[in-house]
Homo-oligomer: A and B are copies of this chain.
Amino acid sequence: TIDPDRLWRSIMETAAIGGTPKGGINRLALTDRDRQVRDWLKSACEDLGCTVTVDEVGNMFAVRPGRLDVPPIAVGSHLDTQPTGGKFDGILGVLAGLELLRTLDEAGYETNAPLMLVNWTNEEGSRFSPAMLGSGVHAGVFDRAYADSRTDRQGVTFGEALDEIGYRGPAKVGSTAFSAMFELHIEQGPILEAEEKAIGVVTGVQGMRWYEIALTGREAHTGSTPMSQRRDALVGAARIIGAVEAIARTHPPGVGTVGLVEVGPNSRNVIPGHVFLTVDFRHPDDAALDVMEKALFATVEEAGRASGLEHALRQVWNSPAVAFDPALVDAVRRVADGLGLSWREIVSGAGHDAAYVARIAPTTMIFVPCAGGHSHNEAEATSYEECRVGAQVLLAAVLDHDRR
């Protein structure tokens, strides 16, 4: 049985690293705050006698030996956050994994397989696009050079930032193999809470695609430039923002969002000459995403023509829909039943490291509810009890798997 007090304390203790006045966390990937929480995790794992290795893209692996010389069973998630993120997204998965190691240590329990706790680098994709970059490199979806070359909006590369915080390790990417991975995570959506289920048995992850759009018009004076002679990049952007919403609504249960907009020169009395914006489309059905993508391309063409803009549109990320390993999904279902918990099957709306890890090892996820479904929000809230239940299911599922 895990110790829910100890788990909660570790969540609150690390939440102070980048803690915001509104009770959230601002701990973007590869910032000094990310380094601090990594240092914290490293020393917590070493205190348990685990060996911590770091790979070339900063993924951290802490191993607790087992009885047999076989590949470990992995648990984990990520410790980076959104700029105005919550205290649980990713963090619960890592700290519940730590709690699992601590519980086994205290009980003197020896597993058959070694256990491995993983902290994946840059899962959020907020500072460096795309999301799930560390797990993606591990799974061979991206190569190391690609990761190193990603730049944040200030022009700092992933590689520079990683070196800066001292978390480029010697382990070759992908060299730290494991036989299976279980990732505990908050749902980040409203379904479990609405249906009063304690556990989400996650069967897969929907498809997701990211796009970058650059619009170029002509900077001009807002007062002396007639409406008919304008090439206003922001007017074009507004049309695209509206269309992204409309495209998503006409392809249920798809979703579409423009999350980031940069306007140049961004001065009250200058007609915007440049706009950079991003689009995030998701759908459980990859074919529907193809249709949504076509509609986006047509929209950008049309908006460019209507406002006299040059435009560049590119897909920068495509993570197809993922189905998790049936045997592991079964194990989670069995464990939830065994503990007498209410559960439902669910497809994740959010991307997770498990989605990429599933390409190279049997993988699944366990969801717990979060209040109102609010996530990527400082008000994100999962209760003490929900955290306890999630960690307990994680422990039980891992031991169930280890026994087979």
Query: CB within 8 Å of B: which residues of A?
Result: 82-84, 124-126, 129, 131, 187-190, 206, 208, 210, 218-227, 229, 232, 234-235, 237-239, 241-242, 245, 248-249, 252-253, 255-273, 278, 280, 282, 348-351, 373-378
Contacts and interface: CB of A to CB of B under 8 A. Distances in A.
Contacts of A82: 265, 267, 269-270
Contacts of A242: 235, 238-239, 242
A208 B190 contact: no
A225 B189 contact: yes
Contact of A224 (B129, B222, B237, B373): B373
Contact of A377 (B210, B226, B273): B273
Given A190-B229, A226-B190, A238-B238, A349 B221 contact: yes
Interface of chain A, helix or strand or loop or mixed? Answer: loop
B268 A280 contact: yes
Contact of A188 (B221, B237, B249): B221
B220 A375 contact: yes
A220 B273 contact: no
Contacts of A225: 189-190, 255, 349, 373
16 contacts: A82-B265, A84-B273, A125-B269, A188-B223, A190-B226, A222-B282, A227-B249, A229-B373, A235-B241, A257-B269, A259-B268, A261-B263, A267-B376, A268-B278, A268-B280, A271-B376
Residue of A253, A264, A268, A278 most packed against chain B (CB within 10 A): A268
A223 B279 CA distance: 12
Question: Top 6 nearest A-B pairs by Cβ distance?
Answer: A224-B349, A189-B224, A238-B241, A222-B257, A238-B238, A219-B377
Contacts of A129: 268
